[in-house]
Amino acid sequence: MAKTITVSAFLTTILPLVYSSGIPIVVSPGLNFSIDPNITPNLTPCTTITSTNAPTIPCFTKLQVASYLENFNSTLAEVCSPTQLFSQCLLATVTAVPGLNCTSKINTTTMNGITSASNSTTCVPFDCATLNSRACPAPTASTNMTIPQAQGYYAVYSLYSVNQFLSGWATALNRASSEPAILSVLNNTTTPTPTGVLVSLITRYGLNPNADAKLVQLAQVQSVKPDPQIQPQPGKDNAALSLWRGVLVDKLQKMSFSAAGNFTSFVGLVGDGDFSVKGLAGANQLIASLSRSHRGP
């Protein structure tokens, strides 16, 4: 069924069908959620997003964004290419374009006296897997969205927010000014591993308890393979510390690939709405926090 429906029609067409064709969605007690537009859903604050009316966890819950994502996951095979990361496909589906800055060219060819025209479109592919990606857009806020539009907004916001947060940590930990903080963790660790050191740093210096706790979980599940016994060796001189910065950035990049490429990891991170908030710490705030070193474990 879905194979004949264009991607841009997915939101308005597939999702209500999915909802009404028996995939259970959990309706939170006390919330008036209905996909029937004739039943007032009392969701106006959540479907009208402005610069002051930011995404919030209560709206994430009311809009049942976790169910929306689960439904999206269950239709992946029909709407996405097997070579696409789920996050690329989700962005393409929600935005109804295959990437950023798309331009189309009309190519006319003449063969045997017959002129034919074809459209070719080039886009910068969406990429929320690479740290500091310029191709992981923030969703466009708008007012009076439909419920599926608002759910799509939250889904894309979560991708964006995770990429921003991981990138902020990577940028901050890669600063020379963070070396005393790294050293204070190394000083207190007998067999440091990338995961262990990163987890300690996030725990000691993080500024967003909920999002940080999710990051710690991701760091741990992403290291199902045994962490390398430390490369570089746990020296405490400047060269070793500089190498450690690279090790931590590398670990965060792997976590970012996992978040944008593995739906289970992504839902683990964003499924409680912890990334559907504004004001998560960015690089500058984390740099400042990491510069206040000598904290306890």
Ligand X SMILES: *[C@@H]1O[C@H](CO)[C@@H](O)[C@H](O)[C@H]1NC(C)=O
Under the rule (CB under 6 A), what is the footprint of ligand X? 30-32, 42, 48, 70, 73-74, 100-101, 105-107, 109, 117, 119-120, 124, 134-135, 143-144, 180, 183-184, 187-188, 221, 236, 262-265, 267-268, 293-294, 296-297
Residue closer to ligand X (CB basis): 100 or 277:
100
Whole-angstrom distance, CA of residue 90 vs CA of residue 72:
8
CB of 30 to ligand X, least distance (A): 5
Residue closer to ligand X (CB basis): 188 or 279:
188
Give the H or E element holding residue 243.
Answer: helix 238-261
Residue closer to ligand X (CB basis): 20 or 143:
143
CB of 217 to ligand X, least distance (A): 9
CB of 150 to ligand X, least distance (A): 13
State the amino acid at position 164 in one-letter form. Q
DSSP SS3 for 184? helix
CB of 126 to ligand X, least distance (A): 9
Residues 281-286: contacts with CB under 8 Å, at least 24 apart = 281/165, 281/168, 281/206, 281/207, 281/208, 282/164, 282/168, 283/167, 283/168, 283/171, 283/172, 285/168, 285/207, 286/168, 286/169, 286/171, 286/172, 286/173, 286/205, 286/206, 286/207
Residue closer to ligand X (CB basis): 12 or 32:
32
CB of 110 to ligand X, least distance (A): 10
CB of 155 to ligand X, least distance (A): 14
Residue closer to ligand X (CB basis): 179 or 212:
179
Dihedrals phi, psi of 88, to nearest 5 degrees:
-65, -40
Contact 179, 238 (CB under 8 A): yes
Residue closer to ligand X (CB basis): 117 or 279:
117
CB of 57 to ligand X, least distance (A): 16
Give the contacts of 63 (CB within 8 A, at least 6 positions apart): 33, 43, 46, 47, 147, 150, 151, 154
Whole-angstrom distance, CA of residue 265 vs CA of residue 257:
10
Whole-angstrom distance, CA of residue 11 vs CA of residue 31:
23
Residue closer to ligand X (CB basis): 236 or 278:
236
